[in-house]
């Protein structure tokens, strides 16, 4: 007689399938015990994303993409980075979901169901570039605390929804309105319901732009849970932290919003250049608005080896916050000489643009290809790291890939 019960053979065979190899002493697993390999939630399955994505943190979930995964003109869901400040809402009830619009600068306070929003306002679709303010943080020295993003916290996908300005018009905005703030359904990491994980927003001028949406679809389908289902604010060209996920309240403010992660040093940079490692007073920090000009070589993958010909077609994207990219160049001699790439126009305002170039190499050996974008104000990406700042935001240094030519 056994003193303990073992798992049944059918449970064992499903375990073997899930783990992907034979569980050698599987028959000895006590009933009710979950093998370690099964205990961790698998983020790739959980969020239905590519296994090539990199998990930076699981509490909260922060997952980044890679340059070569972002080669599509319109980023598919499976390659979109995921950035959370708190706990993703666990029970989302769409039928009773409400968006409240109120605040000291609202003419009235109104409540909308998802159906109200979808039925009573015109729908628009835009392809919008969203980049985390901390994208590229891992390169700063001394290092800044926070997720150590490489280059993969950016995407440009299609969002469908209604214009924020149409909704604000329906509510009525007082002339003293300064800021549009968002509140959302995610939970603070402490699980204290009194605390907000994040509540940011944007000035009226950005809120009233045609492309600022309250979205209910991403790439033609319901927004995935991780990206803000069922409702999300989307403000292209600004730090993605402005684009509130799981949106349930919009508050019209007569002052610059002071919600969680709006004040102190969050999503702010020094007003003046500072020395690396310098402590900067809160009063010397300004809120990040339009993101700086930047680009990414998405083909080939860094490390490619050429063994047929000394020539290569590179591809990538470039974006410039609220502006357009007007010039794109590459260099194979560490930034001494620059050659123009062909560059497309954006499909709509605030969408990234695509570049291509045929790169010829004079002889065999190791090369780096550097890419540099210039915005419509004539500002170019810095070749190496830009100004250090305490929280490691806005690293828009030239992206570079390594190539070996062995013909």
Ligand X SMILES: Nc1nc2c(c(=O)[nH]1)N[C@H]1C(S)=C(S)[C@@H](COP(=O)(O)O)O[C@H]1N2
Relative to beta strand 110-113, strand 311-319 is unpaired
CA torsion, points 299, 304, 308, 311, in degrees to nearest 10? 50
85 binds ligand X, rule: CB under 6 A: yes
Beta bridge partners of 343: 355
236 binds ligand X, rule: CB under 6 A: no
Binder to ligand X among 67, 132, 306, 341 (CB under 6 A)? 132
**What is the DSSP annotation of 82-138?**
EE-SSBPPS---STT-EEEEE-TTBSS-EEEEHHHHHHHS-EEEEEEEEE-TTTTGG
Cα–Cα distance for residue pair 245/197, rounded to 1 Å: 11
Minimum CB separation of residue 45 from ligand X in Å reads 17
Cα–Cα distance for residue pair 80/131, rounded to 1 Å: 10
Binder to ligand X among 80, 151, 323, 343 (CB under 6 A)? 80
127 binds ligand X, rule: CB under 6 A: no
Q: Are 142 and 389 in contact (CB under 8 A)?
A: no
Minimum CB separation of residue 136 from ligand X in Å reads 13
Of 39-47, 97-105, 242-250, 269-277: span binding ligand X (CB under 6 A)? 242-250
Minimum CB separation of residue 68 from ligand X in Å reads 18
List, in order, residues 6 or more apart from 199 with CB less than 8 Å away. 181, 182, 183, 184, 244, 257, 259, 260, 261, 262
Per-residue tokens: 77: 């869901």
Q: Are 335 and 371 in contact (CB under 8 A)?
A: no
85 binds, among ligand X, Mo ion, none (CB under 5 to 8 A by kind): ligand X
Q: Pick between residue 81 and residue 352 the one whose CB is nearest to ligand X.
A: 81
Of 12-20, 41-49, 243-251, 293-301: span binding ligand X (CB under 6 A)? 243-251
User: Total number of residues binding ligand X (CB under 6 A)?
Assistant: 20
Closest CA to 204 of 250, 144, 246: 250
List, in order, residues 6 or more apart from 345 with CB less than 8 Å away. 324, 353
Binder to ligand X among 227, 317, 327, 399 (CB under 6 A)? 227
Binding pattern for the stretch 336-365 against ligand X, x by CB under 6 A and - elsewhere:
------------------------------
Binder to Mo ion among 56, 117, 132, 202 (CB under 5 A)? 132
82 binds ligand X, rule: CB under 6 A: yes
243 binds ligand X, rule: CB under 6 A: yes
Binder to ligand X among 65, 66, 75, 86 (CB under 6 A)? 86
DSSP designation for 171: H
Q: Are 369 and 329 in contact (CB under 8 A)?
A: no
Per-residue tokens: 49: 């994303």
Which residues from 152-211 bind ligand X, rule CB under 6 A? 184, 186, 197-198
Compute CA 220 distance to the chain's CA centroid, rounded to the nearest angstrom: 18
Which residues from 234-263 bind Mo ion, rule CB under 5 A? 241
The residue written with tokens 């919008």 in the block is 128
Of 40-48, 82-90, 283-291, 365-373: span binding ligand X (CB under 6 A)? 82-90
128 binds, among Mo ion, ligand X, none (CB under 5 to 8 A by kind): none
Minimum CB separation of residue 1 from Mo ion in Å reads 59
Find the angle CA(107)-CA(108)-CA(111) to the nearest 5 degrees: 140
268 binds ligand X, rule: CB under 6 A: no
Q: Are 115 and 361 in contact (CB under 8 A)?
A: no
Query: Which positions lie near ligand X, rule CB under 6 A?
Result: 80-86, 132, 184, 186, 197-198, 226-227, 240-241, 243-246
Query: Which positions lie near Mo ion, rule CB under 5 A?
Result: 83, 132, 241
């Amino acid at each position: 007689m056994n003193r303990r019960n073992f798992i049944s053979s059918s449970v064992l065979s499903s375990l073997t399938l899930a783990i992907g190899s034979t569980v050698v002493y599987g028959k000895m697993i006590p009933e009710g015990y979950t093998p370690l390999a099964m205990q961790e939630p698998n983020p790739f399955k959980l969020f239905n994303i590519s296994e090539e994505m990199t998990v930076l943190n699981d509490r909260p979930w922060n997952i980044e993409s890679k340059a070569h995964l972002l080669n599509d003109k319109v980023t598919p869901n499976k390659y979109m980075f995921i950035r959370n400040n708190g706990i993703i809402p666990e029970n989302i009830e769409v039928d009773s979901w409400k968006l409240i619009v109120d605040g000291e600068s609202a003419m009235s306070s109104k409540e909308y169901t998802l159906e109200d929003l979808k039925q009573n306002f015109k729908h628009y679709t835009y392809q919008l570039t969203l980049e985390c303010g901390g994208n590229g943080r891992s390169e700063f020295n001394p290092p800044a605390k926070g997720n150590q993003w490489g280059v993969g916290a950016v995407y440009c996908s299609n969002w469908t929804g209604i214009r924020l300005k149409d909704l604000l018009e329906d509510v009525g905005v007082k002339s003293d309105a300064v800021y549009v703030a968002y509140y959302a359904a995610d939970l603070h990491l402490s699980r204290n319901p009194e605390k907000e994980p994040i509540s940011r927003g944007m000035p009226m001028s950005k809120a009233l732009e045609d492309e600022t949406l309250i979205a209910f679809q991403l790439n033609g389908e319901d927004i995935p849970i991780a990206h803000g289902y069922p409702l999300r604010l989307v403000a292209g060209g600004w730090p993605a932290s402005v684009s509130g996920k799981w949106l349930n309240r919009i508050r019209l403010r007569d002052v610059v919003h002071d919600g969680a992660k709006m004040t102190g040093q969050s999503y702010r940079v020094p007003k003046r250049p500072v020395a690396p490692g310098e402590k900067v007073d809160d009063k010397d920090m300004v809120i990040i608005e339009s993101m700086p000009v930047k680009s990414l070589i998405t083909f080939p993958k860094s490390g490619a080896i050429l063994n047929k010909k000394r020539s290569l077609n590179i591809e990538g994207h470039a974006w410039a916050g609220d502006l357009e990219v007007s010039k794109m160049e590459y260099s194979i001699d560490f930034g001494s000489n620059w050659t123009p790439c062909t560059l497309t126009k954006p499909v709509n305002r605030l969408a990234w643009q695509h570049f291509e170039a045929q790169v010829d190499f004079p002889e065999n050996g190791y090369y780096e290809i550097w890419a540099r974008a210039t915005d419509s104000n004539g500002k170019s990406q810095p070749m190496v790291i830009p100004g250090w700042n305490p929280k490691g935001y806005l690293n828009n240094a030239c992206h570079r890939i390594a190539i070996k030519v062995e013909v």
